[in-house]
């Protein structure tokens, strides 16, 4: 099977195809596919769903995917890789973590918020205009628009989690929002915030989420550690401090316990 590579941090491409298919292939980068016109079938990891105009699809690295074109289709592709992510600000990466940690979404249009559909359409049209006109600061402006589209995708993935909400924030969402503030995710603080008896919180959480509260927090932190190791140049000690581990040794011990390898060895395995 063809494995495509991306030789620059990000790129955009417009393609118009007739009834010939895009054969199954994989790639080592992230790809967003926006349908400007046309319809057909997309297949992602053996899941087949129809595509149509104004649909946006998110494809993760190593996804096997293809398109069967039924009517002439105008595709717009946005591709970006780890280098692109590493060049973004730490705050931006934090906001985007729902993409990286909830990437097992079902194939299909990522836009579930109907108000985001005209927004994404206008953003794609703006990129196309910039590509055609090639004015000064063209690349910088396109990159900002791409980041905006990625942010919209992250918001829609959050919507798709279907988490129960209390005052617009479920316990899971609360944990995600406060994962960098250890005092805010202590059991007694979470219980007080949601008006749940502290001795009942763990039972309630496990019944609704399949694992205990502290186990969930540990697993989520380790997922964020993996994202930092893959998508940032932060030193391991900096990652430990950011995510509330006592020190680098504490992070090394916990990571090896759950992942079977050290953070440094994990990072090297990605290169």
Residue 166 in any domain: the answer is: no
Residue 87 in any domain: the answer is: yes
CATH code of the domain containing 23 = 2.60.120.10
The pLDDT of residue 104:
56
Section 50-67 average pLDDT = 87
Q: Would you place residue 74 in the very low, low, confident or very high pLDDT band (cuts 50, 70, 90)?
A: very high
Biggest distance spanned by C-alpha atoms of the chain:
63
Q: What share of the chain is helix, strand, coil (3-state, %, to 5)?
A: 50, 20, 30
Three-state DSSP state, 5: coil
Residue 24 in any domain: the answer is: yes
- 155 and 62 within one domain: yes
Concatenate the DSSP letters of all residues of 135-179 into one string: -TTHHHHHHHHHHHHHHHHHHHHHHHT----STT--HHHHHHHTT
The pLDDT of residue 240:
93
CATH code of the domain containing 238 = 1.10.10.60
- For residue 38, the 8-state DSSP code is -
- 259 and 145 within one domain: no
- 109 and 29 within one domain: yes
Structural domain count of the chain: 2
Q: Which domain holds residue 205?
A: 171-269
Residue 165 in any domain: the answer is: no
Among 112, 136, 160, the domain-final residue is 160
For 114-133, the pLDDT digits (tens) are: 899 999 999 999 999 998 88
- 133 and 11 within one domain: yes
């Amino acid at each position: 099977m063809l494995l495509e590579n991306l030789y620059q941090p990000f790129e955009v491409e417009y393609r118009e195809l007739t009834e010939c298919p895009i054969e199954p292939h994989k790639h080592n980068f992230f790809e967003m596919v926006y349908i400007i016109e046309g319809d057909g079938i997309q297949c992602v990891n053996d899941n087949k769903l129809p595509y149509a105009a104004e649909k946006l699809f998110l494809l993760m690295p190593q996804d096997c995917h293809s398109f069967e074109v039924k009517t002439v289709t105008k595709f717009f592709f946005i591709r970006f890789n780890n280098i692109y992510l590493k060049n973004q600000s730490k705050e931006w990466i934090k906001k985007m973590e729902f993409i990286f940690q909830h990437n097992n979404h079902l194939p299909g249009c990522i836009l579930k918020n109907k108000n985001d559909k005209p927004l994404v359409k206008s953003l794609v049209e703006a990129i196309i205009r910039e590509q055609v006109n090639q004015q000064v600061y063209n690349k910088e402006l396109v990159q900002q628009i791409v980041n905006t589209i990625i942010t919209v995708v992250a918001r829609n993935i959050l919507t798709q989690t279907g988490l129960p909400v209390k005052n617009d924030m479920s316990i899971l969402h609360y944990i995600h929002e406060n994962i960098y503030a250890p005092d805010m995710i202590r059991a007694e603080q979470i219980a007080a915030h949601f008006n749940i008896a502290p001795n009942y919180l763990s039972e309630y959480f496990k019944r609704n989420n399949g694992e205990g509260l502290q186990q969930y927090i540990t697993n989520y932190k380790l997922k964020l550690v993996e994202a930092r190791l893959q998508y940032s140049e932060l030193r391991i000690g900096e990652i430990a401090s950011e995510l509330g581990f006592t020190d680098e040794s504490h992070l090394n011990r916990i990571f090896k316990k759950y992942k079977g390898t050290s953070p440094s060895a994990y990072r090297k395995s990605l290169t």
